[in-house]
Amino acid sequence: MPRGVLAQLFPWPFVGVVVLLVVLIFLTPNLLLNGAPAAGSLATQAELIVDRAPGNNTTHFYVNGLGTVRYAEIRAYVATNVSWPPPPSASNLSWVNLSYSANALSAIFSSAANPLALNVSVTYVDAAGTGVEYYGSYTFYFGDTTLEVVPLAPGLANVTPTPIASLPLTLLLTATAPGTAP
């Protein structure tokens, strides 16, 4: 066959895409996670989800990871002696243990207080024994139409008021070395 016939049957862009797909097929098994992810990786990132059903006065909190990982521990403390607007620091708040889970994928807890302060810490330890702690400390106030959230710990991002109709609200927890969260 003349060379021009092969070029018509197998144009270079088509051949390039096929070669790229074949390479990706062989490399993909090596790109997938084998075992537990490394501490501090995106797969271990913890998040706090805040939700309140319309007409219900109970706020539900969910702590889980972006990936499916087992956390060494998940702790949540609540303070109900909060005024609004919130105090500049959490030093005068009375914290009560709301939830503790060990070797858990997630934790779910709730509170009927309004306003309230919540302090959450999540510890992940990888197979090599390296750990990371994710934390968040916030005050929450449900108004007539919006949820207002104010961070209580340094390093936490400000949260814009969220319409209650737009809940649930997801807050990524901040990473630090275990035992150093404020």
Distance CA 54, CA 110 (A): 15
Tokens of 63: 């702590």
Alpha-helical (H) ranges within 10-165 are 12-31
Q: What is the pLDDT of residues 1-50, one digit of tens each?
A: 556 666 677 777 878 888 888 877 766 655 555 678 889 888 899 999 99
CATH of 42-176, picked from 2.40.170, 2.60.40, 2.120.10, 3.30.720, is 2.60.40
Tokens of 132: 């990371």
Distance CA 53, CA 58 (A): 8
Q: Determine the length of the chain.
A: 182
- Domain boundaries of the chain, sorted by first residue: 1-32, 42-176
Contact 165, 55 (CB under 8 A): no
Question: What is this structure's pTM?
Answer: 0.79
Contact 162, 146 (CB under 8 A): yes
